[in-house]
Structure 1
Amino acid sequence: MEHHHHNHSHAHPDLKGRNLVISILLNIIITLTQVVGGIVSGSLALLSDALHNFSDVLSLIVSYIATVLSKKEASTNKTFGYKRAEIIAAFVNASTLIIVAVILIKEAIVRFISPQEIESNIVIWLALLGIVANGFSVILLKKDADSNMNMKSAYLHLLTDMMASIAVLVGGFLMMFYKIYWVDALLTLLIALYLIYMGYKLLIASTKVLMLFTPETIEVQKIVLELCKIEPIRNVHHVHIWQLNEAEVHLEAHIDFKEDISLSKFDTILNEIEEKVFHDFGINHVNIQPEFGKCDSKKVIVQD
């Protein structure tokens, strides 16, 4: 079996790691101040924001560990290295978003039933702190979030928390000027629903990668038809296509040839296959098993 791959440019892990460390420290400060402020003021929205911030700290630590692990080299007993560490981190972080949201919904319902008077001044000032600190963290992670699922999961934690802080700020002003204390529970509920929405999408995306599903942008049948146009390929079967991480998409297939070609000719055809699937389908790792006159089913395109 031949294996070829195109080189890929990767993000700067050292820069990602530094940005994550800064975000971790900022969120530890926010969490501690919001816990104290939430207890003193009696604000459930502030405490829920603190809980979300604490989940941010955990998710950022997970993301940082995954970023460090992903740089480790492969070995004989870890032939892929830790390339999937960041996907696992994205899965864990998405799961925590949903778990935190469920806890917040429960607390919001309790507060709706029995609203409490809240010290709005503390809520306003701590919400402002959350907006500034999380806003800075969002800016730090935005660039890497566009191309890396792990960084996107950390980015979403911070972005939703910044939005939560904005909601808490609005609620603080409503409580200060209009004494509408039930808005605290309402904002908590809205924050939780938004967390579920964002977390679910990321959870599904990371699960598909972990389950080795074929990327949604790739049609297996179309690849088979394109490869069969190359002479002297007779048939393409037993195909597997999966995404290892953000940077690598793998294709594995058996190819039946019309004639008993030489190894040098096979290498030429293999290069043509590699170029075609890379430029047309974004596949950068190709594993091909050549066959001529082998007795196996040529009709099975996909097989376990």
Structure 2
Amino acid sequence: MGHSREDHSHGHSHNHSNLRGRNLIISILLNILITVAQVIGGLASGSLSLLSDALHNFSDVLSLIVSYIATLLAKRQASTNKTFGYKRAEIIAAFVNAATLIVVAVILIKEASVRFLEPQKIESDVVIWLSLLGIVANGFSVLLLKKDSKSNMNMRSAYLHLLTDMLASVAVLIGGLLMKFYEVYWIDAALTFAIAIYLIFVGYDLLKEATRVLMLFTPNTIQVQQIVDEVDLIDGVKNIHHIHIWQLNEDEVHLEAHVDFNEDIRLSEFDNILQEIEEVVYHKFGINHVTIQPEHGKSDSKQIIVQD
């Protein structure tokens, strides 16, 4: 028998989702503008760091489109052949976006290594002006997505793409100034390499987080033994075992378990105990979907974790 809690009204969630979609559309358009400008400028100036920034911006465009599609899918209702709906669409988008960050970083490292051995003279004025464009446009996009990035993995993946690109543009600007006033052309490749390392750093953490959710791992914030200890204290409960805990998406954490009772209780008594269990796991562990299989004297495994 199961139960779920919803913390927000459907209307509020729908409006919030529409706002996310609008912010993503604005960010997509800004990044298309930056990408086209930087490709033209990078080819004209011969700057690898500017072209690498353009490549990163292009990956941003693709990632933002993936995030936007995921936001649309997440609004779809459940059906008989999709009983959870598309609630995991945004987690998949976060996984894809994190993976692309790492792929782009590897490409940049390869290109930077070649350019570092053979530095080339670069038209620094073009680099400076286009990096400023990148800072302003990406900075605005970062501000648009910052709030949602704190509570939604999909939006966090898009936010990280834009934040790293803004930082990359800052690095390119510094490189452009050094090339203009000091003719230090090897700095172009060095900055490209630094940008790539940072992309790997932020991409790996997000990839690991999204993978945990997709693999149905127990959230890091939850200790199963603590749940067992709390539920075992409830009057009438003999033990809780055969536990599964997973995160469906950013808003839902599910608990599924067997509960052995001291006595052969009535269904109405079970409902009262189930409510107590729901209160405990919700308020102490943030679990908002609970499914309990009641048992009395059943000869199954009483281990906390059972491999099905």
Fold in common (TM above 0.5): yes
Q: TM-score range by the shorter chain?
A: over 0.9
RMSD, aligned α-carbons: 0.8
Distance 2:304 2:281 in 1: 20
TM-score normalised by the chain length of structure 2 = 0.97
Tell me if the contact between 1:16 and 1:144 (Cα under 8 Å) persists in the aligned partners. yes
The question of 1:232 aligning with 2:231 is answered no
Report how far residue 300 of structure 1 moved. Answer: 4.5
Q: Secondary structure at the match of 1:75?
A: coil
Alignment gaps of 5+ in structure 1: none
Equivalent in the alignment of 2:42: 38
Tell me if the contact between 1:108 and 1:186 (Cα under 8 Å) persists in the aligned partners. yes
Equivalent in the alignment of 2:75: 71
Report how far residue 241 of structure 1 moved. Answer: 0.3
Alignment gaps of 5+ in structure 2: none
Tell me if the contact between 1:239 and 1:303 (Cα under 8 Å) persists in the aligned partners. no
Equivalent in the alignment of 2:139: 135
- Counterpart among 254, 258, 269 of residue 254 in structure 1: 258
Distance 2:304 2:201 in 1: 38
Distance 2:71 2:120 in 1: 43
1:203-234, Cα deviation, whole Å (9 max, x unpaired): 00000000000001111111011101111110
Distance 1:101 1:18 in 2: 28
1:41-96, Cα deviation, whole Å (9 max, x unpaired): 00000000000000000000000000000000000000000000000000000000
Q: Percent of pairs identical after alignment?
A: 72
The question of 1:274 aligning with 2:267 is answered no
The question of 1:8 aligning with 2:3 is answered no
- Tell me the amino acid that sits aligned with residue 112 of structure 2: A
Equivalent in the alignment of 1:150: 154
Distance 2:2 2:145 in 1: 35
Q: Secondary structure at the match of 2:92?
A: helix
List, as ranges, runs of 4+ consecutive aligned residues in structure 1 with deviation greater than 2 Å.
Answer: 8-11, 299-304
Equivalent in the alignment of 2:103: 99
- Counterpart among 74, 87, 91 of residue 87 in structure 1: 91
The question of 1:206 aligning with 2:217 is answered no
Q: Secondary structure at the match of 1:254?
A: strand
Equivalent in the alignment of 1:118: 122
- Tell me the amino acid that sits aligned with residue 76 of structure 1: T
Deviates more, 1:289-298 or 1:53-62: 289-298
Q: Secondary structure at the match of 1:218?
A: coil
Distance 1:297 1:140 in 2: 51
Tell me if the contact between 1:236 and 1:301 (Cα under 8 Å) persists in the aligned partners. no
Q: Secondary structure at the match of 1:239?
A: strand
- Counterpart among 10, 33, 55 of residue 29 in structure 1: 33
Distance 1:120 1:268 in 2: 72
Distance 2:184 2:221 in 1: 48
TM-score normalised by the chain length of structure 1 = 0.98
Distance 1:271 1:34 in 2: 58
Distance 2:250 2:301 in 1: 33
